[in-house]
Amino acid sequence: MNTCVLQKDDLLCITIKKAMKKSIYKVETISELHSIAGLDKPRHPLVTILDYSKIDTTKAPESGSFVCGFYSVNFKKHCSFLYGMQSFDHQEGSMHCTGPNQIITNDNRKEENNSEGWGLYFHPELIRNTNLGNKINEFTFFTYSQNEALHLSEYEKQTLLPILKQMEVEYNANIDQFSQELIISNIELLLNYCKRFYSRQFFTRTNQNKDIAAKFESFLSCYFNSGELKEKGPPTVKFCADSMNLSPNYFSDLLKNVTGKNTLEHIQFYMLEKAKNLLANPELSISEIAYELGFEYSQSFSKFFKNKIGISPTLYRTN
């Protein structure tokens, strides 16, 4: 009995030691990215485009885990990636985007150097105080999980290539007063195309997405008709997305595409319907109804209800 326990403990220790050997590399600048990739210094300090076929991935750090301080747009073929705890294979070729401070694990070290594709990397400083910087959060695909990557058609791939070529021309040329603006304009154009292509992908997956939306409606119905609402309050967007095994922004965009409402709007709709049903019972006070809906204070419930309906719960009940 004791021998068995020791063997399990030894195995656990070995697993922990192996995990400790794998460190996470912080890459804060474009120059550091070039250094890790074994490339010369970048021509521009805040933006670069990498040709993955020219990078020897077998010389990458053993860990392969990185936290980058910039945005990236990647198209890859014949390449395996881990994003969080999700594994994804790029054999068919697909595109994914990441934002600053996200953990990405490159699992190519033991593979042959046959990666095909490109990567656009740009630092937040490049777009600070610009039109693109002000609207960058509208491009929600920067927070999608890796298994929610965009699968591009050949036409879509060829649409993006001239934009990349134009950016390369700009940052490889002598930098002048127009360079920054032209580079940023091309980045924004490329991101707008990405938004269009993701919309196309949502459309082509309509039936599958309708099934997810229906599953979510069933999930909300069960949640709001159980005791969880009173004990835990309304579900968060992240909680709902996790329940569907999707990232929060991807799930909201999926629902918006199918139903016209995002995740938060669905949650609020169910909250209001539940509130209206409870208000129909004259024996329940406003405070009791607020408690049933998971609100700590009745004033918070009244404010929420009035903001959404236009009148107070008391006036609604009277009417």
Q: Do 90 and 198 lie in a common domain?
A: yes
Query: How do residues 11-68 score in pLDDT, each as one tens digit?
Result: 444 443 444 345 677 889 999 989 888 888 998 999 999 998 888 666 555 555 778 8
Pick the last residue of a domain from 204, 237, 268. Answer: 204
Q: Is the pLDDT of residue 3 over 50?
A: no
Sheet with 47-51, strands from edge to edge, namely 47-51, 116-122, 71-77, 94-98
Pick the last residue of a domain from 144, 172, 204. Answer: 204
CATH code for position 214: 1.10.10.60
Quote the CA–CA distance of 206 and 212 in Å, as a whole number.
10
Q: Is residue 4 part of a domain?
A: no
Query: How do residues 231-273 score in pLDDT, each as one tens digit?
Result: 888 999 999 999 999 999 999 999 999 999 999 999 999 999 9
Sign of the Cα pseudo-torsion (250, 256, 259, 264, in order): positive
Q: Do 127 and 260 lie in a common domain?
A: no
Q: Is residue 137 part of a domain?
A: yes
Predicted model pTM: 0.78
Q: Is residue 255 part of a domain?
A: yes
The one-letter amino acid at 258? V
Q: Do 290 and 178 lie in a common domain?
A: no
Q: Is residue 14 part of a domain?
A: no
Parent domain of 133? 26-204
Number of domains in the chain: 2
CATH code for position 145: 2.60.120
Quote the CA–CA distance of 280 and 215 in Å, as a whole number.
28
Pick the last residue of a domain from 169, 204, 239. Answer: 204
CA neighbor of 115 nearest in space, from 37, 185, 192: 37
Q: Do 136 and 220 lie in a common domain?
A: no
Please count the other Cβ atoms lying within 10 Å of the Cβ belonging to residue 282: 7
Q: Is residue 262 part of a domain?
A: yes
Q: Is the pLDDT of residue 217 over 50?
A: yes
Q: Do 196 and 216 lie in a common domain?
A: no
Q: Is residue 13 part of a domain?
A: no
Query: How do residues 159-209 score in pLDDT, each as one tens digit?
Result: 999 999 999 999 888 777 788 899 999 999 999 999 999 999 999 999 999
